[in-house]
Amino acid sequence: MEVQAVDYLAEERGKAAFDVEAMKVVWAGSRHSLEVSDRMARLVASDPVFQKDTRTMLGRKELFNNTLRKAAHAWKRINELRLTEEEAEKLRNFVDEPSYVDLHWGMFIPAIKGQGTDEQQNKWLTLAYKMQIIGCYAQTELGHGSNVQGLETTATFDPKSDEFVIHSPTLTSSKWWPGGLGKVSTHAVVYARLITDGQDHGVHGFIVQLRSLDDHSPLPGITVGDIGTKFGNGAYNTMDNGVLQFDHVRIPRDQMLMRLSKVTREGKYLHSDVPRQLVYGTMVYVRQTIVADASIALSRAVCIAVRYSAIRRQFGSQDGGPESQVIDYKTQQNRLFPLLATAYAFRFVGEWLKWLYADVMQRLQASDFSTLSEAHACTAGLKSLTTSITADGIEECRKLCGGHGYLCSSGLPELFAVYVPSCTYEGDNVVLLLQVARFLVKTVSRLGSGKKPLGTTAYMGRVEHLMQCRSDVRKAEDWLNPSAILEAFEARAIRMAVSCAQNIGKASSPEEGFSELSADLVEAAVAHCQLIIVSKFIEKVQGDVDGQGVKEQLQILCNIYALSLLHKHLGDFLSTGCITPNQGALANDQLRALYSQLRPNAIALVDAFNYTDHYLGSVLGRYDGNVYPHLYEAALKDPLNDSVVPEGYDAHIKPVLKQRFRVSRL
């Protein structure tokens, strides 16, 4: 099948009322960031080793081996090309295949950086940066994920030999899930209960060598393996998530990570004077990257769905002319455009979180812990909200592509499967929302004390106004006013928090009340977090934005984001009396008008993500829109098409067709 070099989306691109190149800079965060991303994406896309179009067809072993090959090749290229750390990270990112490398750079090294003494960092980071050792992060166990304090692995200090004895006392204490552990890592940061002289000091980190650096075989006392197939084709099956058991494994005392607390030669347990709050800094950092990743993942799915919705035609043919593009259907717009707006919203809140992290670290260094609990709650909530919405949003984009979205060649099934664990890891999303809620209830309870709420809870300082204000929206266009939107979201959030706090007050005890009302508390936390995202989007739009028409597009997206949330959570806004049913209906009218404004710019708005066809990995989302010949081509590559008559014909089809059963009733 010959493929023509035609841009089937050229007409769509011509409709854009804004400067796409300028929007690319806005999306990337800076001209520099765009340039580096663009260069690294093309580098990966043009290298045949990094091809990924048959990934979803491979069996587990073949797939895993292929990932090892890519990881080694990436490391080689990074060194040959003398890439900077920023470039190297982006290159690894565009390789777009989970592997041990992610854990080595993303968890093992940061853990040692955060929890190791200067001496420990000197020793271990030198090896790790050169990949002379490969490390992973062994925290979760078969029986314990969310509740870190309940981990069962023990590290018992033996003063005789000056060693810790790492041990797995039960089956459920097996380390379970750590990425890179199963087959690759030579070392791990292992979390275990520290025991000295019979006393349990809780969970601490230890550097443990797992495999011989000579022949890669597990060291004595170590049982290690892969935990098996995970959700989806390709996806995380490229990763050796592992299981690990210790049978009294001895490590030197200096392999306990001792920056925050240490065990002396005599077996004494001591805290250092480094503030323990530093741990929260790391948490803010990790969650900030997760929010940034959410906007990437969602924007990839949206890019595919928007492009294919402009290519796909169905129904509505008049006089034998072409059928309607499905992107012109209001039902399609009503599902797709809010997700497009959400991708941008998440991008900007992620950008703001980078600032927040820098701010928190600066304060920590100055021993200013005043903003910490607010920053902690805020990042917990944003991690939860953005990952849940992104996971659901990818699946919605898949459905918006009709039947073909179910094919792996659409790229969407793998995108979903590889993304969805982020709803569970680094804090289960519901557990995190309960943490936010706890913080909100506490903030509410202190409102009378004269202490002003900080940061993203500052609006709560205006509690009196927000508890009794009523929206003055009178016509649909009034909803375009940012202050109308902001006040409605603020009023809703604070009223839900206050109502929860009041109801908890009626319970026999606060804990009892908190537990009984936890479903309501989760909803209050969601309302608060949505407000944060809406307000950061509004701030972005109100700031300096370069490029012809760019600000206007962001304004439209911002309004779509806010008003679609308002419609989705109408029950909250009405039950708290923030708006009237009629004002809700006006918001909906305005939303429809905004869809019409967005429509001609939709393709250009996803072009602004600047994704290569390689990175998107989707026949449906091709830049040139030339979908159908490539769907056909992708199908032909399936192993089942190696032969026209399938291998099982003689054994399992012919007998069915030719057999005669005398005994059958049928």
Within residues 578-597, the interface with its own copies by CB under 8 A covers: 581, 584-585, 588, 592
Least Å distance between CB 104 and its own copies? 10
205 marked as part of a ligand binding site = no
Q: Please report, as residue ranges, which positions from 466 to 505 form the binding site for its own copies (by CB under 8 A).
A: none
Q: What are phi and psi of 549, to 5 degrees?
A: 75, -5
Least Å distance between CB 31 and its own copies? 23
Q: Does 21 bind its own copies (CB under 8 A)?
A: no
How many residues touch its own copies (CB under 8 A)? 150
Query: Residues 244, 249, 254, 256: what is their CA dihedral angle, to the nearest 10 degrees?
Result: 40
Task: Report the alpha-carbon distance of residue 568 to residue 245 in Å, rounded.
Answer: 47
Cβ atoms of residues 363 and 272 within 8 Å: no
Fill in the per-residue mask, 273 to 302: x = in contact with its own copies (CB under 8 A), - = not in contact. Answer: ------------------------------
Q: Does 516 bind its own copies (CB under 8 A)?
A: yes
126 marked as part of a ligand binding site = no
Q: Please report, as residue ranges, which positions from 232 to 271 form the binding site for its own copies (by CB under 8 A).
A: 232-233, 236, 240, 243
Task: Report the alpha-carbon distance of residue 101 to residue 92 in Å, rounded.
Answer: 8
* Among 628, 615, 611, CA closest to 52: 615
Cβ atoms of residues 277 and 364 within 8 Å: yes
Cβ atoms of residues 67 and 99 within 8 Å: yes
Task: Report the alpha-carbon distance of residue 101 to residue 235 in Å, rounded.
Answer: 15
C-alpha distance from residue 265 to each of 158, 190, 563, 652 (Å): 10, 21, 62, 69
User: 3-state SS string over 548-585?
Assistant: CCHHHHHHHHHHHHHHHHHHHCHHHHHHCCCCCHHHHH
For this structure, is 426 an active site residue? yes
Least Å distance between CB 138 and its own copies? 14
For its own copies, the binding residue among 5, 270, 366, 636 (CB under 8 A) is: 636
Q: Does 229 bind its own copies (CB under 8 A)?
A: yes
Active-site pick, 12, 141, 395, 426: 426
H or E element in which residue 157 lies: strand 154-158
Task: Report the alpha-carbon distance of residue 521 to residue 24 in Å, rounded.
Answer: 38
Least Å distance between CB 52 and its own copies? 13
* Among 573, 260, 621, CA closest to 410: 621
Q: Which stretch binds its own copies (CB under 8 A): 7-15, 130-138, 261-269, 271-279?
A: 130-138
Query: Residues 494, 526, 553, 311: what is their CA dihedral angle, to the nearest 10 degrees?
Result: -150
Q: Does 428 bind its own copies (CB under 8 A)?
A: yes
DSSP state of 457: G
- Specify the residue, 12 or 396, whose C-beta has the smaller distance to its own copies: 396
Query: Tokens standing for 172?
Result: 């459920």
For its own copies, the binding residue among 34, 45, 49, 68 (CB under 8 A) is: 68
- Specify the residue, 83 or 473, whose C-beta has the smaller distance to its own copies: 83
Q: Which stretch binds its own copies (CB under 8 A): 16-24, 452-460, 531-539, 572-580?
A: 572-580
Q: Does 169 bind its own copies (CB under 8 A)?
A: no
Least Å distance between CB 377 and its own copies? 17
Q: Please report, as residue ranges, which positions from 88 to 107 form the binding site for its own copies (by CB under 8 A).
A: 88
- Specify the residue, 185 or 443, whose C-beta has the smaller distance to its own copies: 185
Q: Please report, as residue ranges, which positions from 298 to 337 form the binding site for its own copies (by CB under 8 A).
A: 313-315, 317, 323, 329-331, 334-335
Q: Which stretch binds its own copies (CB under 8 A): 12-20, 134-142, 247-255, 555-563?
A: 134-142
Contacts of 492 by beta carbon, 8 Å cutoff, 6+ apart: 527, 531, 569, 572, 573, 576, 578
Q: Which stretch binds its own copies (CB under 8 A): 254-262, 294-302, 440-448, 646-654?
A: 646-654
Least Å distance between CB 235 and its own copies? 9
Phi-psi label, residue 470: left if phi above 0, alpha if psi -120 to 50, beta otherwise: beta
For its own copies, the binding residue among 135, 145, 178, 427 (CB under 8 A) is: 145
* Among 435, 453, 436, CA closest to 444: 453
Task: Please report, in range form, the residues annotated as the binding site for FAD.
Answer: 140, 179
Q: Which positions are catalytic? A: 426
